[in-house]
Each structure stands twice: as structure tokens, then as C-alpha cells.
């Protein structure tokens, strides 16, 4: 009996070591030039996208994973596109090269650093490709599961600017945006400022809510703040080694990202904003509502980026 339990222990140890070995993950994205809704009324905009959505899909891997990435550029596209993963260390010329309509391009990288990283199109002119919607999030979970406190719910919020005329690069270069948005929509999660809004972020009081915040820019800095709340922890670039406590706001520059944890001791709500008021009041406000009967599906699975 003793011998048997020993051999089981050895087998489990072997299984354990196999489980922590780096795995290879295949990720595919397709660039598509389609119309997307930019507000709660359904106003359409001639976006350029990954998979027909703004932001693009949330990509989730683990520290140490080898990512085999392929970009397909849909044959209906009029422009070349590319993907620049901030989680990758590769050759900017060879790997981030733009892909022509109807063609594909591949490269491989190892996700060496845990955290929240931006991805975006780098095709020329980059300012226009990003401003039209070619951006998204890649989360690299730390290999050490105890490196960060476990989050009860997680949400991705990506800030960006809206330029009224998607063809007008001069307005983008002159920083003449009309609105700042979270996840590609004006007041997308804010029924206070837009009665047409139907979505909010949800959690229960006392839960640790983790916000993966990316600033896609293209030009503005974000001063990310929770009105009526305090960030319990902020992790610049989402790396567990970068840990700050008790912050009221934290600046995330264009092309940067950080992980923000918040816990509400009470029922009610926080308004998550960029505290630059011109940015917030033109569309960059998300209500995070705390109720005891918060929807268990929110902030989990597919709903970490609320579409």
C-alpha cells in the first residue's frame, strides 16, 4: 500500500512537471474592413478591424507559452495590415511586416513577460490604422499563480480617440478628436450620461475586480481613476513584480497598459474614468456597479470584454 501511494505520488509529480512546461499556442487573426457601431444608438463608422470587431478579440496565454501567430488579411480589404504585439520580442522588419489583401503572414514569439499588453496594426499610416479600430489586448497570465491575489472578476477596458472622418489623417496628426471611448463606444457602459446605454460592468461588494486597462491612443494620455474608489493595487504593464498600493489615479500613456485592482466595501457604483475631463465627458466613462446579486457571468469568460 505504501509502495503504491509512493508510485502515485511520483506519477503526480511527473504530471505536474509536464503541466508547467511551455506549450505552443496557435493564434489567428483576420483583418477586416467593416462598419462598426461607435455609440449606443448604433451609429456606424467605417472601421478597420481584427475579426470585424473593435477592439479585436482578447488573446489569453500563459507566461512561457510559444505563440505561433498568423495574420490573414481578408480579400475584401483595400489596405495592407499587420499586427504588432507588445508582448513579443521579434524582428520589427520581418515579423511586423504588413500583409496585403488576400494574403497571410506568420511569426512566432515566446511570451516571456507576464502582464497586460497592447496589440495593434503597424501598417502605414499607423495613426490611421489604430484610430480606425485595429487594436486589442493580449493577457499573459503569470506562471506563478500566487504572484497576484486571485481576482473575482476581470474586465478589459481599452481607451481610444474617435476622429469624426476616418479618412482624414491630418485631423489625427492635429489631435482633433471628437470623443474618447472605452472599448470602441461612446459612453458604452454609462447609462448616466447616455440613457441609450444598456451595458455596465458588474461585481459584488467585497470582490476583487481586476481591470486590464490599455490606452490605444492614438495621441492622448489617460489618467485612470475610479470615482468614489481607490485602486487597491496597480501593476504597471500588469507584471506582478511591479506593484503599487492605494493609488487614486495612475497615468497610462498612449500604447501602454496597466492592471488595476479595486475592491468596494459598499453597494453602489464607481465611475471608471480618465480624469482628464474633456476625455471623460466626451465618452470615456464606465460604470462599475456593485450589487449583492451581480450577474455571475459578468467579468468572467467571454464577458471580460463586454461587447
State the residues that interact with Cu ion by CB under 5 A: 81, 121, 123, 129, 134
Rank residues 158 and 284 by Cβ distance to Cu ion and give the closer one: 158
CB of 123: closest distance to Cu ion in angstroms?
4
List Cα–Cα distances, 254 to 136, 148, 211, 292, 294, in angstroms. Answer: 13, 25, 17, 36, 32
CB of 249: closest distance to Cu ion in angstroms?
31
CB of 216: closest distance to Cu ion in angstroms?
13
Spatial contact of 182 and 157, defined as CB atoms under 8 Å apart: yes
Rank residues 71 and 262 by Cβ distance to Cu ion and give the closer one: 71
Q: Roughly how many angstroms between the first and final C-alpha of the chain, as a whole number? A: 54
Rank residues 123 and 157 by Cβ distance to Cu ion and give the closer one: 123
Give the nearest residue (CB) to Cu ion.
Answer: 121
Sign of the CA dihedral with 59 first, then 63, 68, and 73 last: positive
CB of 99: closest distance to Cu ion in angstroms?
9
The dihedral over CA atoms of 87, 88, 92, 98, expressed in degrees to the nearest 10, equals -80
275 secondary structure, DSSP code:
S
Q: Which of 253, 235, 254 is nearest to 244 (CA)?
A: 235
CB of 182: closest distance to Cu ion in angstroms?
21
Tell me the three cell numbers of residue 80: 495592407
Rank residues 83 and 200 by Cβ distance to Cu ion and give the closer one: 83
Alpha helices per DSSP H over 158-283? 169-173, 277-280
Rank residues 32 and 81 by Cβ distance to Cu ion and give the closer one: 81
Amino acid at each position: 500500500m505504501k509502495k503504491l501511494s509512493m508510485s502515485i505520488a511520483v506519477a503526480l509529480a511527473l504530471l505536474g512537471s509536464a503541466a508547467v512546461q511551455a506549450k505552443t499556442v496557435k493564434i489567428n487573426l483576420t483583418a477586416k474592413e467593416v462598419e462598426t457601431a461607435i455609440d449606443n444608438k448604433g451609429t456606424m463608422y467605417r472601421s478597420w478591424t481584427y475579426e470585424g470587431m473593435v477592439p479585436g478579440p482578447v488573446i489569453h496565454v500563459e507566461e512561457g507559452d510559444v505563440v505561433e501567430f498568423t495574420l490573414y488579411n481578408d480579400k475584401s480589404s483595400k489596405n495592407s495590415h499587420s499586427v504588432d504585439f507588445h508582448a513579443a520580442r521579434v524582428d520589427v522588419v520581418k515579423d511586423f511586416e504588413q500583409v496585403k489583401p488576400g494574403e497571410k503572414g506568420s511569426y512566432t514569439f515566446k511570451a516571456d513577460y507576464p502582464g497586460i499588453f497592447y496589440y495593434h496594426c503597424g501598417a502605414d499610416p499607423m495613426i490611421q490604422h489604430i484610430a480606425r479600430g485595429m487594436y486589442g489586448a493580449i493577457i499573459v497570465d503569470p506562471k506563478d499563480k500566487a504572484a497576484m491575489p486571485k481576482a473575482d472578476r476581470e474586465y478589459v477596458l481599452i481607451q481610444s480617440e474617435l476622429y469624426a472622418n476616418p479618412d482624414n489623417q491630418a485631423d489625427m496628426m492635429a489631435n482633433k478628436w471628437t470623443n474618447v471611448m472605452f472599448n470602441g463606444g461612446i459612453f458604452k457602459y454609462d447609462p448616466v450620461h447616455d440613457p441609450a446605454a444598456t451595458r455596465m460592468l458588474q461585481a459584488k461588494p467585497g470582490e476583487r475586480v481586476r481591470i486590464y486597462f490599455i490606452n490605444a491612443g492614438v495621441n492622448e494620455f489617460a489618467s485612470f481613476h475610479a470615482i468614489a474608489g481607490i485602486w487597491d493595487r496597480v501593476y504597471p504593464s500588469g507584471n506582478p513584480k511591479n506593484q503599487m498600493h492605494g493609488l487614486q489615479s495612475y497615468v497610462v500613456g498612449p500604447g501602454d497598459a496597466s492592471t488595476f485592482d479595486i475592491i468596494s466595501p459598499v453597494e453602489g457604483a464607481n465611475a471608471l474614468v480618465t480624469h482628464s475631463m474633456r476625455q471623460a465627458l466626451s465618452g470615456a466613462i464606465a460604470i462599475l456597479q456593485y450589487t449583492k446579486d451581480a450577474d455571475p457571468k459578468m467579468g468572467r469568460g467571454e464577458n471580460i470584454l463586454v461587447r
